[in-house]
Structure 1
């Protein structure tokens, strides 16, 4: 496999493209308030973006005499992406594209050029391209967090295969004076014992690994996640057998099996909303869109722990759950 090489100035390129797109109105940025919650002694971000509730809908596709294939989306932001959002092409197989609806500044996406399903198992070039972006940021003294959502319970929103990338320092914005926060995925290897409310499967990686080696790690973790749900995960190609999130940093790959996207939020016994989570849960972050949810969870952080137990396999669960 030919090595995938992002532009050497990738961090600056992402920053410049985001700034231009934001000024031109091609990107929607939603500022947030943030607080830190204590989740099993792990600092966990809770963010509130009231304006995100009014996020605009994507435009409808033009009328066509030829209906789209059943496995293709009617509107696909990753097919022939807007030039204003295109950060760079990664020949031969991927594009880097800004997230049009950003909570974290400079949030960008690694998408396959050809349509491939989000629910299929990742390929070696997907993982190699992701790690190449992480290394490009590392060369500039920065850290990237990458995540992947697959399946109806994972927080996935687009059927076209893509991974998402966030600069860790931008994820810390607003936390000044609130104590330390680190990406949770990175804390799951090493001597420190970190116990989360849900089970994760973790393996270390390093810069000498090629795409096939990275895929070997990913598949081992995927199989373990399948086993935790009582599912046969022998298959190495095609449709995944479970819903899951994957996260990657420079030093670790994490896979988390999912059984629900989220759960209800209550205040004084009344349901006031739903906390839904995607792969950023493996960074240690969550997002709410209403004042009622924000107030309820800040006043009762135990609710967050209960939601985290319900979205995956609870840590204390010994018998495998079955779908």
Structure 2
């Protein structure tokens, strides 16, 4: 078991548990894994490689029907409350459960959710960070393949790409994120951007030279859970002050309760990165600039260096002019975009 100082343990065979559960649930029709095409773009002068994935089938993803006029308002469906046994990977006592993502773009995408219903918009607690990092360690430490790594991300707030109000952290096997890259131009250049940013930053909490504002901290091997949580809270408070410079005192920004801003958090085995958000994305135009071809929305996977589009016009426009992706980043010059 991969264990942290709070006693939270992830199964040592977590990669094989996730793989087996994913394949069984997909065969039973309990989840959908959408096929994608992939291109690797190098927008602007940063030299950073970004994955662009295109999934036309995702545009037809089922949506809940609106209630008829006058009908009693029903409680929204919560996929993390009492999940189907086929969608459950493992329990992480005392407070978390691992479940599969019902609508996956990356195979074996799974989710760390709180057992009790807690708000996605609140600052994460120490056990949330500890449970996520225990999963990351379990992937790296798995005896069958020492090269396995896990990318964890958290979307919080209306501008972050968050879609479920029940607190959850999403987990993506990096090996699965590489699918299709062997045939893509610049595919060999792609790696998880959070790790690139972390390794290029010599100073704690540095704003790395990227087309969007990101605060990073290196994770020391064997760091206790409380230290990891303190690092996260520090990054969060600095991000609040980045958007609200009037809040300059440490005590002026609460490290618990309702979050003051929208943001994305990413964690890998070696890096923690936090990206303040003031917009979910932007509308892009055709190569001629005469036609709007669709909105591009970004969530925490941007800290892995990935973006997703659902229609062919967006796919073509971004591949023809990768700098349009910078236009999405630069839609607003405050906070997330600068």
Task: Name 2:61's counterpart in structure 1.
Answer: 55
Task: Name 2:266's counterpart in structure 1.
Answer: 247
**Structure 1 residues 301 and 53, CA gap change in structure 2 (3 angstroms):** same
- Deviation for aligned residue 1:245: 0.2
Q: 1:207 aligns with which of 221, 242, 260?
A: 221
Q: 2:313 aligns with which of 269, 287, 292?
A: 292
Q: Residue 133 of structure 1: SS of its match in structure 2?
A: helix
Q: Residue 76 of structure 1: SS of its match in structure 2?
A: coil
Task: Name 1:185's counterpart in structure 2.
Answer: 194
**Structure 1 residues 2 and 195, CA gap change in structure 2 (3 angstroms):** closer
1:183 and 1:284 in contact (8 A); partners too: yes
Q: Residue 209 of structure 2: SS of its match in structure 1?
A: coil
1:259 and 1:312 in contact (8 A); partners too: no
- Deviation for aligned residue 1:207: 3.2
Mapped to 1, the partners of 2:217 and 2:260 lie a distance apart of 21
Task: Name 1:307's counterpart in structure 2.
Answer: 328
The number of equivalent residue pairs is: 310
User: Could you tell me the TM-score, scaled by structure 1's length?
Assistant: 0.91
Mapped to 1, the partners of 2:211 and 2:261 lie a distance apart of 19
**Structure 1 residues 17 and 316, CA gap change in structure 2 (3 angstroms):** closer
- Deviation for aligned residue 1:74: 1.6
Alignment pair present for 1:221 and 2:235: yes
- Deviation for aligned residue 1:227: 1.1
**Structure 1 residues 312 and 248, CA gap change in structure 2 (3 angstroms):** farther
Mapped to 2, the partners of 1:262 and 1:35 lie a distance apart of 19
- Deviation for aligned residue 1:180: 2.1
**Structure 1 residues 314 and 36, CA gap change in structure 2 (3 angstroms):** farther
- Deviation for aligned residue 1:311: 6.1
Q: 1:234 aligns with which of 232, 243, 253?
A: 253
User: Could you tell me the TM-score, scaled by structure 2's length?
Assistant: 0.87
Alignment pair present for 1:279 and 2:300: yes
Task: Name 1:321's counterpart in structure 2.
Answer: none
Give the stretch that moved more between structures: 160-169 or 222-231. Answer: 222-231
Task: Name 1:95's counterpart in structure 2.
Answer: 97
* Cα root mean square deviation, aligned: 2.2
1:183 and 1:282 in contact (8 A); partners too: yes
